[in-house]
Amino acid sequence: MSFALSLLTGVVLGSLAMFVAAWSIWWERKFAARLQSRPGPTEVGPIGLLQPLADGLKLMQKEIIIPRAADKLLFVISPAVAAAGTLALFAVIPWSETVGVAGDLNIGLLWIFAVGALLVLPQWVAGWASNNKYALLGAMRSAAQSVSYEVPLLLSGMVPILLAGSFQMDEIVAAQQGGRWFAFWPPGPGALAFGLFYLCSLAEANRIPFDIPEAESELIGGVTTEHTGMIGVVLQLAEYLHTLVTAAVCATLFFGGWEGPGAWFGMEGFLAEGLHWMVLKTLVLFALVFWIRWSWMRYRSDQLLKICWHYLIPASLALLAVTAIWVRLVEGA
Amino acid sequence: MSRTLPLWDALVATLRNVGRPMVTEPLPWHAARERKDRYRATFALVHNELGEEACIGCKMCEKICPSQVIDVVAGGRKESPVTGKKRGYCDDFTLDLNACLVCELCVQVCPEDAILMLRERTPVGFSREDLVLSMDRLYANEKPEALAWHSGSVFAEIQDPERGLTPPEEDA
C-alpha cells in the first residue's frame, strides 16, 4: 500500500472514528434511557439523532476557562495529546483485507499496548496541570489503575498472540479464518481471555465499573474537573475513542475480524467476510460497554486494585499457561 | 461464584427494560398549551358603550392597589360631549406591571368596568420601561375578543346578588 493511500485511509478512518465517537454519545444516552424505561433524547432531529450537533454547537460557544494557577500550556495541549494518541491506536486495526492504515505492521498488537500505555501520560498531565485537588486525585487514581491493569491486559492479550503465532493484526485475523474465532476456539481459554481482556480494557479506558478516576459523585469528574468548553470535549472524546478502539481490538483479536459467521458454514460472499462484519462486531462490543456502564456500579479504589492483583493477574497467567500447553500439544507448534 | 452473580443479574435486569413500555412520557412541548378560561395577565382600559372613555378618574384602583403600581391623574368633572351630562374624566393613567401582583383588586373595585384584564399571555419586554403600561398602551389593549371573563360589575353580582348587575347608564 502506497504512502498516499495510507494517509488518505488514515484521514478518512480517523474522521469516521471521531464521528462515531460523537454519535456514540447520542447512542449512550438513548440506550441508557431505554435500559431505564425512559425515552432519551427526542427533541433534536428524528429520535434525537441530531443531539450531538446541538451539544457540540452549545459547547463550542462555551468559554474555555483556564485556572490562573494552572500550567497553561500543558492544560491546553493534554486533551489534544490524549485524542491524538487514541487515534494513533486506530492505525493498526485491519478493517478488512484491503481497508486499514497499517494492519500489516509486524508489531501491531505491541503498538496498541505501547501507545495505550502511553495514554496514561496525557491523563496525568491534564490532572496535574489543572492545579486542582480533584483533578490531581483523579489523575493519580487513573495512573495507578492504568499501570496495574496494563499487566493482565498484556497477559490476556498474549493468548491470541500465542494461538496465532504473530503480533501482526491481519495475521491474527488470518489465523482465525474458517470460523476458528479465538473467543470460541479453543473452547475455554479464548473466551476467558476475551473476558479478561475486555474488563482490563474497560479499566484502561476508565469506563464503569472501573471509572473511579472520574467518579462524578466524589471527584466531580476527576481529571476533567477544570477542563471546560471544547478542550473538555476533546478530553471526553478521547475517552470514547479509547472505548471504540478497545472494541475494535477485541473484535480483531477474539472475533475473527472481518470474517462473518457465514464462514462457519463454508459460505462465501458478503455473509462470509467483509468490512461490514468488522464494523458490526466493533459496534456491538462498543454497545456492550454502555450496557455494562448502566448496569454495574463502580468499584472502590482499593477493590479495583485488589481485583487486578488478586484475581485478574493470576487468572491471566494461568490462562497463558493453559494456552501454551494447548498450542504445544494440540496444535503441535 | 456467588459474588459474580449479582453482576449478571444487573445486566439482565437492565436489558429487560428495553422491551418494556416506557415509564416516562415525553414532555408535551409541541402541543399548543391550552389556556384556562379564567387565565388573565395584562390590563386594558376600555370605552363604554357610548364610545366614551369609561374611566372617571375616581382613583379607587389607585387606592386599593396593594403594591401601588397604579397612578391616576384625575381630570375633574366636565360635560360629556355625548350625553351632555357632567361626569369625571381621567387625564393620565399609568400601571407598572413590574411590581403588579395580578391580584385584580383594581378590576373588582372599578365602578365603571373601565379597567379589565386580558386573556393574553404575560407581556414581556427587554427593559423595565417596556412593562410600564401608559394610558395609550392601556387603551391600545382594548380588544373585545381578548377580554377576560370578569369585570367590576360581574364581581359585584357574585358577591352581592341582590344588588344585581348595575346598568352603566344609571351610574353615569
Question: CB–CB of B7 and A42 under 8 A?
Answer: no
SS3 B117: strand
> Rounded to whole angstroms, how far apart are CA atoms A87 and A202?
17
CA dist B34 to B38, B41, B103, B118, B121, Å? 12, 15, 22, 16, 11
Residue in chain A lying closest to B19 (CA): A34
**B48: CB partners within 8 A, 6+ apart:** B54, B112, B113, B114, B168, B172
- Over 90: is that where the pLDDT of A10 sits? no
Contacts B3 to A, Cβ<8 Å:
none
Question: B132 pLDDT band (50/70/90 cuts)?
Answer: very high
Residue in chain A lying closest to B7 (CA): A296
Predicted pLDDT at A327: 83
Predicted pLDDT at B96: 92
Query: Residue A167: how many CA atoms within 13 Å on its side-chain side?
Result: 12
- Over 60: is that where the pLDDT of B171 sits? no
Write out the H or E segment, with its range, that includes residue B92. strand B86-96
Q: B28 CA to chain A: closest CA distance, Å?
A: 11
Predicted pLDDT at B172: 46
Our separate counts of H helices and E strands in chain B read: 6, 5
Class for the domain spanning B43-171: alpha beta
Contacts A42 to B, Cβ<8 Å:
26
* Cell, residue B81: 360631549
Dihedrals φ, ψ of A175, to 5°?
-70, -20
What would the pLDDT profile of A202-240 be if each residue is shown by its tens digit?
Answer: 888 877 788 777 777 777 777 888 888 888 888 888 888
Lowest mean pLDDT among A101-105, A257-261, B115-119: A101-105
Average pLDDT of the segment spanning A236-254? 88
Predicted pLDDT at B1: 47
Question: CB–CB of B17 and A34 under 8 A?
Answer: yes
The complex's ipTM works out to: 0.70
Query: Interface of chain B against chain A, CB under 8 Å?
Result: 7, 10-11, 13-15, 17-18, 20-24, 26, 29
Predicted pLDDT at B4: 59
Instruction: Look at the pTM and tell me if it is higher than 0.80.
Output: no
> Rounded to whole angstroms, how far apart are CA atoms A262 and A270?
8
**Which residues span the domain enclosing A30?**
3-329
What would the pLDDT profile of A121-154 be if each residue is shown by its tens digit?
Answer: 888 998 899 888 888 888 888 888 888 888 899 9
**A294: CB partners within 8 A, 6+ apart:** A31, A32, A35, A36, B14
**If you ran DSSP here, which 8-state letter would residue B118 be given?**
B
What would the pLDDT profile of A20-58 be if each residue is shown by its tens digit?
Answer: 888 888 888 888 888 888 888 888 888 888 888 888 889
**Average pLDDT, whole number, for chain A?**
84
CA dist B75 to B51, B81, B90, Å? 18, 15, 5
Question: B168 pLDDT band (50/70/90 cuts)?
Answer: low
Lowest mean pLDDT among A185-189, A310-314, B39-43, B127-131: A185-189
The rounded percent of chain A whose pLDDT value lies above 70 is 98
Q: B139 CA to chain A: closest CA distance, Å?
A: 41
- When divided into structural domains, chain A yields a total of 1
The secondary structure of B50-90 as a DSSP string is: TSSB------HHHHH-TT--EEEEEEEEEE-TTT-SEEEEE
**If you ran DSSP here, which 8-state letter would residue A262 be given?**
G
Question: B84 pLDDT band (50/70/90 cuts)?
Answer: confident
> Rounded to whole angstroms, how far apart are CA atoms A148 and A212?
14
- For residue B76, the cross-strand partners are B89
A303 touches chain B (CB under 8 A): no
Predicted pLDDT at B70: 93
- Over 50: is that where the pLDDT of B90 sits? yes
**B109: CB partners within 8 A, 6+ apart:** B60, B61, B64, B152
Predicted pLDDT at B79: 86
Predicted pLDDT at A314: 92
A309 touches chain B (CB under 8 A): no
**If you ran DSSP here, which 8-state letter would residue A183 be given?**
T
> Rounded to whole angstroms, how far apart are CA atoms A314 and A115?
24
Provide the pairing of β-strand B86-96 with B115-117: unpaired
CA dist A279 to A94, A183, A193, A247, A255, Å? 11, 17, 22, 10, 12
What would the pLDDT profile of A274-304 be if each residue is shown by its tens digit?
Answer: 788 888 888 888 888 888 888 888 888 888 8
**Closest by Cα among A286, A325, A207, A264 to A21:** A286
Question: B66 pLDDT band (50/70/90 cuts)?
Answer: very high
